[in-house]
Structure 1
Amino acid sequence: MRREIGLAKTASLQRLGVYKTSLLATIDRYQYLPQVLASDPRVVAALRNSSDQKVVPAEPSSISFLLKNINRQAGSDEIFLLNSAGVTNYTSNYDTATSFAGSNYGFRPYFRDAMAGVSDVYFAVGATSGRPGLFLSAPVLSESGQTLGVIVIKINLRILEQSWQVSGDSVWVTDEKGIIFLASTEKWRYFSMQPLSVGTQSELAQTLQYGKRSVEPLQRLVDWQADDWSTFNLKRSGPQVVFASPIESYAWHMHLRMPLAQFRAQLRRKQGLIILFYAGIAIGSLFYRERRRRTHAQNALAQLTAERESHQRAIIQNTDVGLLNLNAQFEPLFLNEQARTLFKLENEKGFNTPADLIQPWDPEKAGVGACRAEGVRSDGSRFPVMYTLNAIRAGEQREFILTVQDVTELTVAQQALQEANRVLEHRVEERTRELEDAQAALAQNQKLAALGRMSAAIAHEINQPITALSNYVASSQVLLARKRFDSVSENFLKIEALLERLSKLSRQLRIFAGKRNSGSASVSLQAPVRYALELLGPRFATEQVECELLLSQNRLDYLVQANAMVLEQIVVNLLTNAIDAVTGQEDSRIEIRLTELPALRQGKLPKRISLSIEDNGHGMSEDQLGHVFEPFFTTKPMGKGLGLGLAISYSLARDIGADLTVSSCIGRGTCFTLILPTTN
């Protein structure tokens, strides 16, 4: 059995060579494209302009249209451009339901390797589309050598798998981890030929290389194992012998599997022949068997060689680029139809040398990647081309493959884009000058508007102490008439305090013109509340409004970090607004609550105190709530208010590090809440 399997291994390796050639030819067809696009000035400019962006542009740009056209002409699956954060800024499928635009592929190894300056070839299941494919990536570098992003070409290898399936062979391709990612039979994809370590499983879960499904190992049989092959139990397919062959330039292996029962059947057949002829003509039977085996091997080898040559010819003839097969002296051995079409070569017998077809021609460029040059047709006309020269092995002989692609459209589009950039730069300069003129005029208008708002705010703030002064003067006149001189003296003290307050207001005009907080300290929260209640006491009595102060049961006062005068202004403004809201209705009521709130994070921030002023007025609608803190917005009748009290209170609260919020319901009233941090 081991001998039979060993004989089959030799033939299997030859057949695997054909499949490896088809796979490598498919990859080499697109190998040049990432480097070409990475060096395209339009791609470099697009990434440079969006280097600080972390999201995809809102509208598809010309770069996405360009990638779409190149993708269609190259026959690739998708082409997309990632910025340095791994976000897809431009993609050829921007107008499809499975667009890559905005997706972040920074977790993919092909992105990380390219950002490190190494072009990568990586097979994976698409994180967005769910379709498997081969990703070819290359770094996009600026003129200074900085890596701006990564250009990625995705190739669909499904057609190649289908060709393997039509051939009748059971073919696998595994990666460096032993995971099957290409197979002639779809159901064996994403199985492992060896147990996976915990680290490998974690890496697959992170990179989503093979989607979200788990990779299960195939069941390995103990019997019929060797260094040159492996045996697995593939469930309904039964025991299978798997031969492997490494793929040059990649950490992959190509596998061909054959049923173990086939070898057993061949062994039984040969054993029967040996038993049948051993009795009479042992020597003749052995000679016949050896001759038959050699003939069969030669025929099989000739057939495989013919199939391999036919397959290679078919691939070469059907490729979309011009291909020339050169000998070691760079003399043409074969040209495909696309090459004859590009250079208008009608003579089947005479081949032109590369030096006649491409100028400048440099044989030293072999293996260095894509090169730009000019193609020369048989009629003498010239056209821009991109060519690559790579060495191959044909048995013991050294040969070369020359790939030529017409880039006329790409060159014309490049020139058009450069001209458009020059026109755009001129227009930007004109618009910049216009914008600077408009900004100068706007700055002058804003200064005038700011002066008007500041004047209105000052008038509104001074009006409250003046009103209080008027109330105390009227009260003093009544008390003098009644000869209550002690009460009059108390009123004079209050009037003196109000005059001091007006003096402070005149010195703190910056409260309304810029930075308003003149310093903060640890102050009592009840003091400004009781000051406001005393200041507005006459209005409560006149308007017949009931005001109730509700304190926490745990303590009577709180110390908060704030500016005492600013805090008084806020409370007076909020209470004044509440009185205006309930004036003229029955059962007018205002409630003032002081509540202790928990810290935002335990042990990190101080506790907070909530001061809420709630009335049972008419309330406000959702639309009114959205504008309640805007300057000059008011729900009061014309002439009853300027609409600055709440706007000033909101701005003052921000200055002392407090939060001022509002909630309201039509028919139930309005509640303003001021939240401040405590100092104890």
Structure 2
Amino acid sequence: MPFWLFVGLFSLALALFFTHPWLMRYEINQAKADSLQRLGAYKTSLLATIDRHLYLPRVLASDPRIVNSLGSLEEGEAPSPGGFPTSRLLEQINRKAGSDEIFLMDPDGTTHYSSNYTTEDSFVGMNYGFRPYFRDALAGAPGFYFAVGATSGIPGLFLSAPVYAESGKTQGVIVVKIDLRKLEQSWKASGDAVWVTDKRGIIFLASSAKWHYTTLQPLSDEVKSELAETRQYGNGPITPLKRVTEWQSDDWSTLDLNADGPQLVFGSSIPGYPWQMHHRMPLAEVQTQVQWKQSMTVLLYAGLAVGSLFYRERRRRTHAQNALARLTAERESHQRAIIQNTDVGLLNLDDRFRPLYLNERARRLFRLGSDDTFSDPSELIQPWHPEEAGNGSSRAEGVSSDGNRFPILYTLNPIRVGEHNEFILTVQDVTELTAAQQALQEANRVLEHRVQERTRDLEEAQAELAQNQKLAALGRMSAAIAHEINQPITALSNFVASSQMLLARNKIESVNENFLKIEGLVARLSKLSRQLRIFSGKRNTGSAFVSLQAPVHYALELLGQRLASEQVECHQSLPCDYQVRANAMVLEQIIVNLLTNAVDALDGQADARIDIRLIELETSPGKVSLSIEDNGPGMGDEQLSHVFEPFFTTKPMGKGLGLGLAISYSLACDIGAELTVSSRPGKGTCFSLILPIASAEKRENHS
């Protein structure tokens, strides 16, 4: 082997040996920078979750309803079971705030009211006086404490505040519990390994639950005793993680996580809280990077081409970073242009609601000059409710610099900028919208007034039409009565005149024949008068529980001789003897009228037939139908529409008065029945009497 080659290989081996530790630290520092950048995003999400509820205990502690509920306990009043209605109030606030639980304790640490008062794990009656968040709040300081729930076993962040009486005395502690498990699930979904430790190095939040309540460093006996007393992390042991002897530093730690192997753990403090957030990555990844770079070093010795390639890559990266910086600047400029030209006023406020930035639309809206400013949004918006931040739009009045007032909609939303809290206030002028709404309301009032007027006109017209219909019906009835009476009276006059002439001629037999005819006409007028009295007079409607078969048998017996003489075949289908509540005589009269009408319709009909059927209706449970159907000539639609009208008849002149069906219909209404008709020309006509069946229970009660 040539000497120079041996020297070159020896020099390369020495270079690799001595540069390995340096490369390892370099890559670890690079990994640290990347981890800190990632931790910034995770810290922002954690702080946003906490800050969203941080104000809630102080707000609740000043609520008069909560203060009065504790005051009633001090006066010796016993709380109702479950603490109604205070526990229900806490439940409603808890649901709206999105927190896990809210509960209220007395100065001894006993919980009297809780949002979970209806659950099996209710806090009501439990004493949490041993918890630090209780002792801190009782001492007048806001409580901030992460722990595993002593009752529910569910970990969470406890925020507490003292509740003062009007005298200034601390009469209790209000506590809000926040569940951070959803935040852990989002960490797990991101694929990064993230831990959060307390001031003693104990892991209580992690993207993987198996690292819960392990510690990055051994715990002293004093700390173990304190944890056992407060039960901060439950009753289980706190297991310390094993440290690797090499690759340790003040800026990171290296731990042996068994199956996961050696891991680099980078920590970053969380501002304002006694916690640290950690990101871990396998040490093998860094070693792989170092091995790769050492391989690159070997390749550098192989030729200038590799060096040139590496230089070009670095240069390309620099150009990319410069391009990214230019793109970022252009994007910021573009976003500012959008903000300046938007149609709504935008105001950026700090955490004390002092102005940081106003766009041009906001200045024009409130008529502010380029140098004009304000110290509080209440100068521009009345009423101003900063406590409604994040709850959507609110309606108010805008006040311009010249004192002009105009209707607006404003929205106040919190944002997180780095480590600071800020607010975005959007303001929209709704003057035109308000005027349009008022115009629409006025139009609706006018329209409602017109509708009322038209309704009154229609009601008056309807009443007038009903009166006209009554008069028309009365006129038709008067004409029909006059027609029915006029013929017998005319005939009587003729027979009287004829009888006088016959008497003068001494024709006694002819006179007797005239008298017989006059007697028939008088009987016809008497029958007409009697039926009119039945139709228009007050009838006896007294009712009882009667059989439906009995009146059918009565009518058939009454009309039996006529049925036989006119050769009308009558078929009965009466399978059950149904009981109905009706007047027996009225029911008999209706069936006799309907059966008589059917016999009259079959006059001269070959194969005359009447079917009487009694069936229970399937379409109307609890009702029975008695139908009388003939196979006569039937009726058309025009005749059916008048069939129940007085003096309407299809019989030849002198054969009927047209009152039988009208009387039957009126009698059916009197006993609470329904009389219907159906007919087809050439097929016959069917009349159906529908009545409700009397139940056995009703018959027993009646008896």
Q: Which has the higher contact order (CA 8 A, sep 6+)?
A: 1
Quickly name the TM-score band, shorter chain normalised.
0.3 to 0.5
TM-score for both structures, normalised by structure 2: 0.46
TM-score for both structures, normalised by structure 1: 0.48
